[in-house]
């Protein structure tokens, strides 16, 4: 019996079969958690260029080991007469303790960086250099006392790059600080006047409890990233540091300049103090070019901008990167810029798009470009960007500024993420709300014919499409009372998932708001919505006004209107759906995380009779609490339509605005049973936010539950927490709708 049939039976007979339903939920989650997620893919060639190798790395949830398992695979292909032929596929190989695994440009060498724990319980970082079938060097990087831990691919700073000559490697590591000691350590009790000439020792003494700022949520412990260079040319590998950049800058995203005499990197300013960087590509930063000799430094980009993701063209004559204002909403429409590396002149390739109609290009909405994103002619750049409720690949001609959308392997709501571009071969990852991820490869057509690309599935024999789930795209036009006076033409969308067999069924509904608020449901496969649908729920994913992928006006429309415009949109989408025949109007539930939790609490406060149960994951409950405790206090000011400066202290006007826009304003109206789920290590929305609201509901005798997940940060994505949370969510919904 299918779960939604069981729910229907429960509703009609009142029989309690909760335990059976829980086992069904566990079984469904276990099945769906086995779908791997591709994290990266790189194209290379055999030495004779006769074969193409696609090396991919994927992660998969291992419920028994309670961890994400990382593994790699190779697909070996030929490309003749415009057609791909897959010769063989290697079985998955687990990647144990690897931070990085990078092939040199010629394919003759490979660098692997591992983090291992020795018998004393100490973590060690080893840099291994492999030549075909043998390891020729293994460097204990930390034993040299030059730098701290090497940064992994963290999505912000981490880098590992081979030079063109393959004689040097550059990577990012934590700056080494003098060991802090107590004033009363025995070694420091007898000091002589000569000791006072040792500044490092003097500085370290008494510094045990000094605060070292880091970069916030999901970057804990990353205080001061620096650039390290490994020289392989001599008889013994040598590590040196690039120390010519100001000490009040954190460096990352480093690239070798074409002539190999210098490095291009992003530098984030420390002053006056660090704000959280994860999900916030608006932190003040510039592009630096530094000669490895340290003789010359040049900056690109305005001082009031935030830059990211530099990428050199194959001919070495151009470099593209993205920028945003270093203030305002945390995720905005970006500009794509290009530097002529010969004369060092910068031009804007794609500017900010205010608003777009239908299928028009809606602007650059992407956190990072692929490491290799150029066509072989060094004219075109390829990347994927959010476009309304889809993730779509585009080709940008840097000379004509023309943007061409590349077609996807399948029609409908979907996401196609470009992972690598090499010699005009493109490897990408496709998914849809009812289709787990799979890899495709295609060859870039000539200029002007890009939309004719043909994709080849690398594992054609695998078909994991979830035929039991139907996906629809719903469009919403605000009605009177909802229209934004400044941006009256804005509309929005929702992605609707429902069980396919619905001829005689009306399903319970889960209304889901995304976080951000400036993010989006982008048509990709997500475990929770798909598994909930297989548990018998219809799921409505709402991209309210303020979501990305619709131009900059959508972002601006929500500023100063959170708790109102976004809440109205979600409620309007839910009520519109009830007019269809799929949904049982008496069994509507609601869920959201972060700003989605903020919307969820507003919904159950402003529409108390509409929702039968609610779940909030790390929710923003009170802006009064968040501005003083989050790693991104600017968020509260900006989203409330207020100005933010580092020295800003909330005055009475700000406090009043925070109160008026907070969900806590409506707590006396809440009657909906609510479950809170928080990560104890969350720096973005600290647990006390949810705890305050939990206590308020408990005091008012509203059914409430509080789930606390140790060592989990804002995403609540550790394997055991993620699994436990899912079963608790569906159990909570089942209990209150049945």
Q: How far apart are CA 390 and CA 373, in angstroms?
A: 20
C-beta separation of 307 from 282 below 8 A: no
Radius of gyration of the CA atoms of the chain, in A:
27
Question: Do the strands 160-162 and 168-174 form a parallel or antiparallel pair, or are they unpaired?
Answer: antiparallel
Output the 3-class SS for 8-47: HHHHHHCCCCHHHHHHHHHHHHHHHCCCCEEEEEEEEECC
Is 367 a residue of the active site?
no
Closest C-alpha to 100, from 144, 34, 158? 158
C-beta separation of 228 from 240 below 8 A: yes
Task: Give Cα separations from 42 to 90, 104, 321, 393, 614 (angstroms).
Answer: 15, 12, 20, 17, 42
The residues, ordered by sequence, that sit 6+ positions from 177 with a Cβ below 8 Å of its Cβ are: 148, 204, 212
Tokens 């009256």 belong to 488
Q: Point out the catalytic residue in the list 56, 285, 431, 594.
A: 594
Q: How far apart are CA 116 and CA 567, in angstroms?
A: 48
The pair of three-digit structure tokens given for residue 474, joined into one six-digit string:
């719903």
Q: What is the maximum alpha-carbon separation in the chain?
A: 90
Phi and psi angles of residue 578, each rounded to the nearest 5 degrees, phi first: -65, -20
The pair of three-digit structure tokens given for residue 631, joined into one six-digit string:
């790693």
Buried b / exposed e along 95-120 (16+ C-beta atoms within 10 A): beebbbbbbbeeeebbbbbbeeeeee
3-state SS of the chain: helix, strand, coil percent to 5? Answer: 20, 35, 45
Give me the half-sphere count of Cα atoms (radius 13 Å) on the Cβ side of residue 503.
1
Is 425 a residue of the active site?
no
DSSP helix/strand/coil, 67: strand
The residues, ordered by sequence, that sit 6+ positions from 119 with a Cβ below 8 Å of its Cβ are: none
Q: How far apart are CA 107 and CA 97, in angstroms?
A: 23
Q: How far apart are CA 4 and CA 501, in angstroms?
A: 9
C-beta separation of 718 from 726 below 8 A: no
Q: How far apart are CA 732 and CA 724, in angstroms?
A: 12
Question: Do the strands 538-543 and 507-513 form a parallel or antiparallel pair, or are they unpaired?
Answer: parallel
C-beta separation of 515 from 594 below 8 A: yes
Q: How far apart are CA 626 and CA 191, in angstroms?
A: 46
Q: How far apart are CA 238 and CA 235, in angstroms?
A: 9
Helices 18-32 & 719-737, crossing angle to 10 degrees? 140
Q: Point out the catalytic residue in the list 420, 566, 569, 682.
A: 682
Q: How far apart are CA 172 and CA 141, in angstroms?
A: 12
Is 682 a residue of the active site?
yes
Q: What does DSSP assign to residue 273?
A: -
Which bin fits 190, alpha (ψ -120 to 50), beta or left (φ > 0)? beta
Strand stretches in 326-410, DSSP E: 335-340, 345-350, 380-387, 390-397, 403-405
C-beta separation of 204 from 620 below 8 A: no
The DSSP line for 89-143 is EPPPEE--SEEEEEE-TTSSEEEEEEEEE-TTS-EEEEEEEEETTEEEEEEETGG
DSSP helix/strand/coil, 161: strand
**What amino acid positions are annotated as catalytic residues?**
594, 682, 714
């Amino acid at each position: 019996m299918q779960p939604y049939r069981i729910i229907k039976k429960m509703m009609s007979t009142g029989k309690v079969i909760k335990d059976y339903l829980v086992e069904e939920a566990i079984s469904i989650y276990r099945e769906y958690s086995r779908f791997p997620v591709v994290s990266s893919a790189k194209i290379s060639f055999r030495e004779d260029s006769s074969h193409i190798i696609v090396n991919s790395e994927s992660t998969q949830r291992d419920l028994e080991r309670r961890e994400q398992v990382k593994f790699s695979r190779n697909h070996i292909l030929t490309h003749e007469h415009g057609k791909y032929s897959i010769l063989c596929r290697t079985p998955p190989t687990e990647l144990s303790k690897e931070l990085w695994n990078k092939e040199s440009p010629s394919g003759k060498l490979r660098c692997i960086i591992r983090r291992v724990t020795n018998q004393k319980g100490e973590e060690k970082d080893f840099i291994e250099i492999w030549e075909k079938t043998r390891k020729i060097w293994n460097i204990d990087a930390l034993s040299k006392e030059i730098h701290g831990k090497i940064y992994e691919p963290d999505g912000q700073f981490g880098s590992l790059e081979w030079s063109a000559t393959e004689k040097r490697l550059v990577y990012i590591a934590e700056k080494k600080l003098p060991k802090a000691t107590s004033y009363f350590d025995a070694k420091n009790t007898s000091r002589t006047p000569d000791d006072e000439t040792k500044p490092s020792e003097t500085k370290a003494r008494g510094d045990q409890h000094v605060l070292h700022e880091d970069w916030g949520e999901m970057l804990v412990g990353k205080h001061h990233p620096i650039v390290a260079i490994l020289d392989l040319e001599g008889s013994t590998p040598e590590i040196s540091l690039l120390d010519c950049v100001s000490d009040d800058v954190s460096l990352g995203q480093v690239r070798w300049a074409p002539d190999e005499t210098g490095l291009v990197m992003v530098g984030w300013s420390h002053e006056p103090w660090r704000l959280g960087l994860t999900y916030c590509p608006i932190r003040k930063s510039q592009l630096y070019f530094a000669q490895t000799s340290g003789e010359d430094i040049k900056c690109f980009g305005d001082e009031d901008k935030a830059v990211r993701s530099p990428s050199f063209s194959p001919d070495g004559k151009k470099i593209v990167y993205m920028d945003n204002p270093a203030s305002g909403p945390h995720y905005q429409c970006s500009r794509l810029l290009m530097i002529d590396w010969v004369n060092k002149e910068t031009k804007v390739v794609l500017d900010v798009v205010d608003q777009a109609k239908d299928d028009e290009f809606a602007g650059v909405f992407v956190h990072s470009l692929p490491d290799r994103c150029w066509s072989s002619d060094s004219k075109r750049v390829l990347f994927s960007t959010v476009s309304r409720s889809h993730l779509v690949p585009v080709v940008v001609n840097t000379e004509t500024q023309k943007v061409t959308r590349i077609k996807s392997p399948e029609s409908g709501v979907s996401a196609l993420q470009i992972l690598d571009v090499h010699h005009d071969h493109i490897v990408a990852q496709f998914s849809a709300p009812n289709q787990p991820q799979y890899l495709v490869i295609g060859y870039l057509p000539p200029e002007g014919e890009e939309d004719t690309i043909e994709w080849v599935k690398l594992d054609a024999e695998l078909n994991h499409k979830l035929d039991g789930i139907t996906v629809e795209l719903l469009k919403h036009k605000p009605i009177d009372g909802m229209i934004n006076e400044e941006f009256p033409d804005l509309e929005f969308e929702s992605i609707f998932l429902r069980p396919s067999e619905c001829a005689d069924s009306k399903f319970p509904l889960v209304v889901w708001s995304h976080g951000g608020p400036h993010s989006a449901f982008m048509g990709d496969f997500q475990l929770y919505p798909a598994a909930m649908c297989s548990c018998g729920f219809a799921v409505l994913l709402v991209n309210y006004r303020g979501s990305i992928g619709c131009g900059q006006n959508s972002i601006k429309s929500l500023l100063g209107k959170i708790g109102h415009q976004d809440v109205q949109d979600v409620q309007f989408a839910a009520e519109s759906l009830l007019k269809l025949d799929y949904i049982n109007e008496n069994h509507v539930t609601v869920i959201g995380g972060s700003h989605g939790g903020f919307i969820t609490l507003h919904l159950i406060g402003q529409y108390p009779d509409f929702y039968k149960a609610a779940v909030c994951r790390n929710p923003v409950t009170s802006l009064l609490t968040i501005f003083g405790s989050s790693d991104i206090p600017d968020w509260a000011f900006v989203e409330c339509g207020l100005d933010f400066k580092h020295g800003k202290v909330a005055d009475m006007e700000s406090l009043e605005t925070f109160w008026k826009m907070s969900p806590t304003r409506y707590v006396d109206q809440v009657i909906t049973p609510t479950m809170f789920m928080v990560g104890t290590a969350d720096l973005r929305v600290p647990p006390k936010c949810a705890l305050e609201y939990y206590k308020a509901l408990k005091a008012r005798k509203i059914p409430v539950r509080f789930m606390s997940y140790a060592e989990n940060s804002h995403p609540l994505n550790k394997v055991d927490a993620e699994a436990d949370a899912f079963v608790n969510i569906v159990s909570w919904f089942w209990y209150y709708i049945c």
